[in-house]
Structure 1
Amino acid sequence: MADGGMFGDALRQPPVNIEAEQALLGAILVNNRAYALIDEIVEPEHFSVAIYGRIFDACQKIINAGRQADPITIRDYIEGDVLLGRKSAAEILSGLLCSNVSHTVVKSYGVAVRDAWVRRCLFKTCSETLDLCCRPGDESAADIVDGLENGLLELARGTDEAQPTVSLAASMEQARRAAISAARRGNGLAGISWGYRALDRMTGGMMPSAMYLLGARPAMGKTSLGFGIAVRSAAAGHSVLFWSGEMTAPQLGARAGAAWAGLSTQAVFTGRRYDIPEDIETGEREILSDWQWRDLEKGEQAASNLSLEIDTQSRITVAKLRSRARRMARSKKGLDLIVIDYVGLMSAGSTYEDQRSYERITKVSGQLKQLATELQIPILVLAQLNRETERRDDKRPMMSDLRDAGALEQDADMIMLLHREHYYLKKQQDAGLAPKDRESAEDFANRVSMLEQRVQASVGKADVLIPKNRQGPEGTCHLRFTNRTTWFRDVSEDELSPAWVVAEQGESG
């Protein structure tokens, strides 16, 4: 703990509730039934008096072993312990017996012990923050804020009350009622819409508290698909928060504008036409026509109906994301979905962990899973696959390509792997094929022709492979990708159809 110094922390003693600790332990020693009432509330580290924490730990071990925890059995555990100080085990235990309360009210004492521990943790965190604020050092103000936010996040995760157990019959009833609600919504979805019918049909929508992982190699279009899901889910009537660690808001806006107006993203960035050749003499391209500018403006109007917020703060921590998400959840529109693009660009809030990619992503993954559970909403996490795909003849991604991505593979409730065969075939074609040893001219010509056919057949095709799904089937969803606008659509959609369609009121459920 930081020393008090000019802030007078020495006058502000860390909060303790020794009387509650004594009464709690006394109640357990007199009647072990009291332990069952607080075993999910109190832990040994919650006691401010070290020897009391040691006694509670001994009670845990003895009772969980099926034996009786009383002054006699506990004395064997603590006799001679340095934490006793100048007192004997008998003196400590006899004092606790005099402080005991009825086991019928012991739960309130357990809550009091835990509450005092939380306050001590807050005291320590805030004191250390004050010390950093007033002590010359390498920490910037932003570093101090990150440290405080992460400290509070970890504390918040540790102060959640124990989740009560649920009987099988009750859990089946909850599932049946959820199915009735889904059926009444009319869209056949148990969760919120992906905005793509293929994904909705395969998964039944994104479920509350679930973490979804979308992995892909660079240039496959994971940002385009992730952003498309965010936009189309918002169009289905949901409230979405999209975090991007590598693109600015105007860049994302340009993608949405290009998709809506049917323009190339390059045309939106430059304001010039790429749908017609450049001027032969000047080499310049024409400025967008009036109707194209109007289409972009119509796209803005269509977007104004969507509840989609874009956050582009670099190296964001889950603590900061949590505070923004909670603020959005408390607003009138609420919050139904968070999309992360991408997890490798997030910070764990620690210089040590940020220097080690595996540890950083593992910590961030666990925190995101916790955030989904806390807010009771799905979180879609985008991730970059390792290079193993590039070394294989078959470029289709596999779950093993996530091995470098920390605990993402284990934490995710569903894993999706995006693949566009056209990208690799076109790359192979552009590099040019070379004749193999002893290959005839005719065989070589056939191989070149076959590659050309495969390139043409794969144009616009995209596969979303689902190798893991805790809540449904595994399989493959087929989508279409328009390279010019960098936009994904369902296979059944016309390329000239609107990039998104706002659902009628009540349609999303």
Structure 2
Amino acid sequence: MADGGIFGEAMRQPPVNLEAEQNLLSAILFNNKVFFKVDEIVEPQHFANALHGRVYELCRKVINAGRQADPITLQPMLDGDVLLGRLSANEFLLTIATLLGSAVMGEDYAYAIRDAWIRRCLFKACSNILDRCCRPGAESGPEIVDALETDLLELARGTDEALPTYSLEHSMQQARIAAEEAARRGNGLAGITWGYRALDRMTGGLMPSAMYLLGARPAMGKTSLGFGIATRSAAAGHSVLFWSGEMTAPQLGARAGAAWANLSTQSVFTGRRYDIPEDMETGEREPLSDWQWRDLEEGERKASALALQIDTQPRVTVAKLRSRARRMKRSKRGLDLIVVDYVGLMSAGSVYEDQRTYERITKVSGQLKQLATELEVPIVVLAQLNRESERREDKRPMMSDLRDAGALEQDADVILLLHREHYYLKKQLDSGLVRKDKESSEDYANRCSEFAQRVIAAEGKADVLIPKNRQGPEGTCHLRFTNRTTWFRDVSEDELSPAWVVKKQEAGG
């Protein structure tokens, strides 16, 4: 039978390096300075022999307390430990000490231990996948693939090499160099553009490795704003990955087409005109005019210049999103921004965790933050707020409305909360204002009139509240929202202006 057959698989054992473990402990007991060289490389759980890991843990405890770790000081701490079996603590420690592990080789021992641990983790993950593959009818193939990708992502997070430390001087120098580069670009941004000047001014742009949380209640337009950010950032010359868990690619394309051609989204879906009344006799609407079809086609040509990829696979895991993102990162155009719509629709890759919303979102949030750091790109994460704001008289959202959303509030570098007062005012007006006790007919009529004027004044206005900003000030940004096209613009933009403007070099002139 060829190598790797069934018999070969059954005979394979998880990799261990007991010799490296024993020699590292020997080197530490001989010279405690070795511990400081390996402390960031290896952890107690990395040892295949649990007793070796226990001794390493005791060495760490004693040395960090400023005392000497040797067989004499460790013996009373190890006596009676169940891991010793029939050995005495004195016998075991003397055996380790007499190995005379090389202090010079300490780091090599540590890396060998860590490498064996990684291989054991891979062995366990792959063995688990083999078991699941051979279990008839329990899971589908794609579910098993998701499980493997999630396991590998968790392993990758745990095997990252420790980041180097930097002096304050170096840190200040890097900040100054980044500021000089931003000044040379002429847009005043430290990161890439949001596509909206109001957000750029408040935040300085989307910074690499940062996670931005955009929260809103349903019907506020968070998908529209998230997609607008993705589209406009791509129009500025950046490469963007947009994941949607609740809309298809044609639905998103219809929104972009409506915004470009200044049409109702209903018109794009139906091919009928909603800008003029329906026929009085037939009750039908006219088909779009030739010039409106031409506007839609022109929008497609303008979109062809954008490096914007749309992913709509349902219940995606961060592991699978990471796979797509890494491919884009390696491509010629690279990857500058990821937009996730929305986090509540992502999977943690575990049936157990997916059944528990808080645990699922907490895990996904941590993985998204890790992904931003790993790829050194900003991630804009959309999230749905709880119902607390709708119970308040003032409907403006607050950061506390995120409290059911796992660790998102803690993981996010910047939190943005989208609010459109017009939605709530219009809803209240349509349901009718309740007449107060002892309120005269004239006062009630005046109040209704004033409220109607308030509704009119609020139409098209949108606020983006920023209650948390690790990179700058907190405050409020003002945008305009066109309900017909479901598109956001800066306040200074004309409603008939292009939905996005492609950079000349990106458009080929």
Question: What letter is aligned with 2:283?
Answer: G
Cα separation, 2, equivalents of 1:375 and 1:99: 43
Cα separation, 2, equivalents of 1:63 and 1:493: 64
| 1:137, distance to aligned residue in structure 2 (A) | 4.9
Aligned partner of 1:306 in structure 2 is 306
Cα separation, 2, equivalents of 1:88 and 1:202: 65
Aligned partner of 1:491 in structure 2 is 491
Aligned partner of 1:407 in structure 2 is 407
Aligned partner of 1:225 in structure 2 is 225
Cα separation, 2, equivalents of 1:10 and 1:76: 42
- The 8 Å contact of residues 38 and 107 in structure 1, kept in 2 or not, is answered as yes
Q: Deviations over 1:7-54 (max 9, x none)?
A: 644411111111111111111000000000000010011111121111
Give the secondary structure class of the aligned counterpart of 1:201. helix
Q: Map residues 31-46 of structure 1 onto 2, 5 A cutoff.
A: 31-46=31-46
Cα separation, 2, equivalents of 1:197 and 1:353: 39
Identify the range of structure 1 (464-473 vs 133-142) with the bigger mean alpha-carbon deviation.
Answer: 133-142
Q: Deviations over 1:108-160 (max 9, x none)?
A: 21111100100010001101111111122522222211211111111000000
Aligned partner of 1:106 in structure 2 is 106
Give the secondary structure class of the aligned counterpart of 2:259. helix
Tell me the matched-pair count: 504
- The 8 Å contact of residues 347 and 354 in structure 1, kept in 2 or not, is answered as yes
Question: What letter is aligned with 2:433?
Answer: L
Asked if residue 317 in structure 1 is aligned to residue 317 in structure 2, the reply is: yes
Asked if residue 17 in structure 1 is aligned to residue 17 in structure 2, the reply is: yes
Aligned partner of 2:429 in structure 1 is 429
Question: What letter is aligned with 1:429?
Answer: L
Q: Deviations over 1:275-319 (max 9, x none)?
A: 111111111111111111111111111111001000001111111
CA spacing shift, 1:5–1:355, aligned 2, 3 Å: farther
Question: What letter is aligned with 2:250?
Answer: P
Asked if residue 455 in structure 1 is aligned to residue 455 in structure 2, the reply is: yes
| 1:5, distance to aligned residue in structure 2 (A) | 11
- The 8 Å contact of residues 9 and 127 in structure 1, kept in 2 or not, is answered as no
- The 8 Å contact of residues 24 and 100 in structure 1, kept in 2 or not, is answered as no
Cα separation, 2, equivalents of 1:309 and 1:99: 58
Give the secondary structure class of the aligned counterpart of 1:104. coil
CA spacing shift, 1:47–1:428, aligned 2, 3 Å: same
Q: Map residues 55-66 of structure 1 onto 2, 5 A cutoff.
A: 55-66=55-66
Ranges in structure 1 where 5+ consecutive residues have no aligned partner: none
Q: Map residues 436-451 of structure 1 onto 2, 5 A cutoff.
A: 436-451=436-451
| 1:233, distance to aligned residue in structure 2 (A) | 0.5
Give the secondary structure class of the aligned counterpart of 2:393. coil
Q: Deviations over 1:244-271 (max 9, x none)?
A: 0000000000000000011110000001
Cα separation, 2, equivalents of 1:454 and 1:380: 33
Give the secondary structure class of the aligned counterpart of 1:366. helix
| 1:381, distance to aligned residue in structure 2 (A) | 0.5
Give the secondary structure class of the aligned counterpart of 1:103. coil
Aligned partner of 1:344 in structure 2 is 344
Cα separation, 1, equivalents of 2:506 and 2:38: 45
Percent of residue pairs bearing the same amino acid type: 77
Question: What letter is aligned with 2:409?
Answer: E
Cα separation, 1, equivalents of 2:75 and 2:500: 71
Identify the range of structure 1 (259-268 vs 160-169) with the bigger mean alpha-carbon deviation.
Answer: 160-169
Question: What letter is aligned with 1:292?
Answer: Q
Cα separation, 2, equivalents of 1:327 and 1:73: 53
| 1:97, distance to aligned residue in structure 2 (A) | 2.3
Aligned partner of 1:373 in structure 2 is 373
Q: Map residues 316-335 of structure 1 onto 2, 5 A cutoff.
A: 316-335=316-335
Aligned partner of 1:263 in structure 2 is 263
| 1:98, distance to aligned residue in structure 2 (A) | 3.2
Cα separation, 1, equivalents of 2:32 and 2:466: 50
Question: What letter is aligned with 2:301?
Answer: Q
Cα separation, 1, equivalents of 2:238 and 2:5: 51
Cα separation, 1, equivalents of 2:239 and 2:96: 54
- The 8 Å contact of residues 362 and 406 in structure 2, kept in 1 or not, is answered as yes
Question: What letter is aligned with 2:167?
Answer: S
The runs of 4+ residues in structure 1 deviating greater than 4 Å are 4-8
Cα separation, 2, equivalents of 1:464 and 1:446: 31
Asked if residue 88 in structure 1 is aligned to residue 88 in structure 2, the reply is: yes
- The 8 Å contact of residues 21 and 109 in structure 2, kept in 1 or not, is answered as yes
Cα separation, 1, equivalents of 2:81 and 2:476: 62
Identify the range of structure 1 (397-406 vs 481-490) with the bigger mean alpha-carbon deviation.
Answer: 397-406
- The 8 Å contact of residues 305 and 506 in structure 2, kept in 1 or not, is answered as no
- The 8 Å contact of residues 243 and 339 in structure 1, kept in 2 or not, is answered as yes
CA spacing shift, 1:93–1:114, aligned 2, 3 Å: same
Q: Map residues 40-439 of structure 1 onto 2, 5 A cutoff.
A: 40-439=40-439
Cα separation, 2, equivalents of 1:245 and 1:59: 49
- The 8 Å contact of residues 22 and 100 in structure 1, kept in 2 or not, is answered as no
Asked if residue 503 in structure 1 is aligned to residue 475 in structure 2, the reply is: no
Cα RMSD (Å): 1.5
Give the secondary structure class of the aligned counterpart of 2:283. coil
Give the secondary structure class of the aligned counterpart of 1:60. helix
Q: Deviations over 1:377-407 (max 9, x none)?
A: 1100001111111111111111111111111
